[in-house]
């Protein structure tokens, strides 16, 4: 599959830091049910607007709390932790997609999240979505045309490409989404549970594709609940617990410790 | 793995030439990045229209039906009950032009205000200049308005206006109005992203603005009949919506009441350029903060 901006790993640069995360905090603000007794009439809403105070019921979720680490060229880092421990948030913060509350992420390039789902529109055809998704990821129209056939081949959806995506089976649309997302390679690649899509045949193909992307990329971050996949593809692991870093080190060491806790 | 000096990650970043991510981009680089995404803006706008058409058969029709039904209500209230149709020549064409032209700005501003808050998933998944989103919404509204302007032209002819070469003036009017509306849309895209309550309050502000802009009455007559100072007439007529509506009526209609002085064009240009530049800079200044929960 032809990939845009293919970059081979330069052996000299192995070991050089590519991503430095310095004391990172990320906070979500969400509207929840308002606490009992809180006023929410027009007058108090107006005064909030004027004083820029938060509405009652606005909750803060501290998703990442003080994470610090250095990722080097050639690293493939698995991120493990329970649901809600901040794994996906950490990836998004590294990609620069979630502005941090405090702290900084330093990089030498633009890290990219493998995923294009949010840009696609289900009532449009696969063809239209390939173009839309490709452009959304920053391809030029020429690159989209060059990659078009290989995306369709890889997704293995055949003539369904002419039909709207909401006519696809869930496996087919997952395959198309992955094929679009994986058609570009990046220096720093962030993968969030992308391997868990499709049937066994597509799983094998996509694992191969991820390995190829990893070889082209300088650094890979992989979030997965499948510890087997992480052991196979990563050399290092970070264990997040409630938004804080519990452990960082060799993949087997960290996963053994994690498994010991989880199985208890 | 190299040894990690955890005490000074920032110093280490500087040593290896790494730069902080998510920092505010320079204005020039930002505009360049936005220009590189022009195909995405266009495809995104077109895809959203196609999706809307695919999802409901009446989708595209509502774009025209909505202002028409509004115009019907206004005709009943202002034309018949309040007797404006006797005071204004060709009142139906006068009213329809006002309603359709105002709807273009108000729809663009409403769509722009939701462009960040309604696409948070996209903002949190992919990296691109965020101004892509409000601009895609603006283009989407422009394309839809193209359809409704054709309907407007047909209706204006049916109610007794003859098409003339002056109708071509409608094109620069719409382009200037587009620039103005895009600027205001950018302002509200940022405001709504930062303070969600703005989305609730915006429809009312737009409604008041419509009633002040002479959509269904002639501003100068109205102020005179209510013993208002002439300065009120000037202020009301200089407001951007009134300026674009008057110029559109001047282009489409041929009555003494709808002729506009030349200085209206200067105002129309000023109202296009100043809000667009100001709105763009206002939006750009918060670039690194869009997507925060």
What does the mean pLDDT of chain A come to? 81
Average pLDDT over every residue of A130-152:
92
Give residue B103's pLDDT. Answer: 92
CA angle A42, A47, A53 (to 5 degrees): 115
In tens, the pLDDT along A237-253 reads 999 999 899 999 999 99
Give the chain A residue nearest B130 (alpha carbons). A97
CB B180 within 8 A of CB B276: yes
Q: How many of the other CB atoms lie within 10 Å of CB of A35?
A: 9
pLDDT band (50, 70, 90) for residue B59: low
Contact A97 B122 (CB under 8 A): no
B288 at the A interface (CB within 8 A)? yes
Q: Among residues of chain A, what percentage have pLDDT more than 70? A: 81
pLDDT higher than threshold 70 for residue A14: no
Instruction: List the one residue out of B177, B149, B170 whose CA is nearest residue B251.
Output: B170
Q: Taking the domains of chain A in order of start, what are their residue ranges? A: 21-51+58-262
pLDDT higher than threshold 90 for residue B29: yes
Contact A108 B51 (CB under 8 A): no
Minimal Cβ distance to A106: which of B1, B13, B198: B13
Burial of A45 from C-beta contacts in 10 A (0-12 / 13-18 / 19+): middle
Distance in Å, alpha carbon of A257 to nearest chain B alpha carbon? 21
B229 at the A interface (CB within 8 A)? no
Spatial separation of the C-alpha atoms in residues B151 and B158, rounded to whole Å: 11
Give residue A3's pLDDT. Answer: 39
pLDDT band (50, 70, 90) for residue A198: low
A21-51+58-262: CATH number: 3.40.50.300
Give residue A2's pLDDT. Answer: 39
pTM: 0.83
pLDDT higher than threshold 70 for residue A12: no
Distance in Å, alpha carbon of B35 to nearest chain A alpha carbon? 12
Give residue A10's pLDDT. Answer: 44
B163 at the A interface (CB within 8 A)? no
Among A residues 31-90, those touching chain B with beta carbons less than 8 Å apart: 31, 45, 48-49, 52, 55, 61, 68-70, 72, 75
pLDDT higher than threshold 50 for residue B2: no
In tens, the pLDDT along B73-94 reads 888 887 777 777 778 888 888 9
Instruction: List the one residue out of A245, A253, A249, A224 whose CA is nearest residue A236.
Output: A249
Average pLDDT over every residue of B146-169:
87
Torsion, CA A3, CA A219, CA A210, CA A92, rounded to 10: -100
Spatial separation of the C-alpha atoms in residues B22 and B26, rounded to whole Å: 12
In tens, the pLDDT along B97-150 reads 999 999 999 999 999 999 999 998 888 888 899 999 999 999 999 998 888 888
pLDDT higher than threshold 60 for residue B37: yes
């Amino acid at each position: 599959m032809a990939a845009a901006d293919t970059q081979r790993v330069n052996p000299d640069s192995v070991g050089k830091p590519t991503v430095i995360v310095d004391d990172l905090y990320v906070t979500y603000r969400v509207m929840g049910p308002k606490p009992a007794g809180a006023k929410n009439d027009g007058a108090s809403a107006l005064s909030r607007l004027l004083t820029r105070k938060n509405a009652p019921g606005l909750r803060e979720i501290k998703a990442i709390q003080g994470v610090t680490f250095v990722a080097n060229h050639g690293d493939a880092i698995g991120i493990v932790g329970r649901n809600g421990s901040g794994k996906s948030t950490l990836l998004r913060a590294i990609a620069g997609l979630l502005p941090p509350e405090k702290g900084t992420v330093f990089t030498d390039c633009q890290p990219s999240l493998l995923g294009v789902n949010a840009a696609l529109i289900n009532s449009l055809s696969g063809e239209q979505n390939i173009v839309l998704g490709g452009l959304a990821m920053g391809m030029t129209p020429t690159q989209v045309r060059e990659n078009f056939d290989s995306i369709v081949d890889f997704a293995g959806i055949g003539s369904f490409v002419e039909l709207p995506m909401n006519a696809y089976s869930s496996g087919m649309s997952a395959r198309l989404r992955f094929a679009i997302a994986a058609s570009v390679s990046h220096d720093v690649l962030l993968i969030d549970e992308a391997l868990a899509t499709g049937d066994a045949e597509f799983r094998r193909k996509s694992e191969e594709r991820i390995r190829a992307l990893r070889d082209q990329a300088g650094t890979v971050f992989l979030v997965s609940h499948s510890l087997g996949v992480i052991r196979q593809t990563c050399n290092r692991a970070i264990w997040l617990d409630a938004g804080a870093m519990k452990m960082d080190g060799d993949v087997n060491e960290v996963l053994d410790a994690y498994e010991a806790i989880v199985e208890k | 793995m190299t040894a990690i000096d955890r005490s000074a990650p920032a110093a280490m970043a500087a040593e290896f030439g790494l730069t902080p991510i998510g920092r505010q981009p320079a204005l020039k680089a930002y505009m360049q990045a936005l220009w590189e995404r022009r195909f995405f803006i266009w495809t995104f706008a077109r895809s959203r229209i196609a999706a809307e058409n695919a999802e409901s058969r009446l989708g595209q029709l509502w774009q025209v039906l909505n202002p028409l039904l509004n115009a019907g209500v206004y005709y009943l209230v202002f034309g018949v009950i309040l007797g404006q149709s006797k005071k204004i020549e060709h009142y139906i064409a006068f009213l329809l032009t006002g309603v359709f032209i105002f709807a273009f700005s108000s729809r663009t501003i409403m769509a722009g205000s939701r462009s960040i808050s309604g696409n948070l998933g996209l903002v949190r998944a992919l990296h691109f200049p965020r101004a892509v989103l409000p601009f895609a919404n603006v283009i989407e509204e422009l394309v839809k308005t193209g359809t409704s302007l054709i309907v407007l032209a047909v209706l204006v002819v049916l109610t007794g206006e003859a098409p003339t070469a002056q109708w071509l003036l409608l094109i620069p009017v719409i382009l200037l109005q587009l620039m103005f509306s895009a600027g205001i849309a950018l302002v509200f895209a940022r405001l709504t992203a930062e303070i969600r309550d703005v989305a609730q309050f915006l429809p009312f502000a737009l409604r008041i603005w419509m009633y002040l802009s002479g959509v269904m009455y002639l501003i100068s007559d109205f102020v005179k009949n209510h013993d208002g100072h002439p300065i009120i007439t000037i202020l009301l007529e200089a407001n951007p919506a009134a300026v674009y509506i008057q110029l559109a009526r001047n282009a489409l209609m041929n009555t003494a009441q709808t002729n506009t002085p030349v200085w209206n064009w200067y105002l129309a240009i000023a109202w296009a350029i100043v809000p667009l530049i100001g709105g763009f800079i206002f939006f750009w200044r918060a670039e690194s903060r869009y997507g925060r929960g």
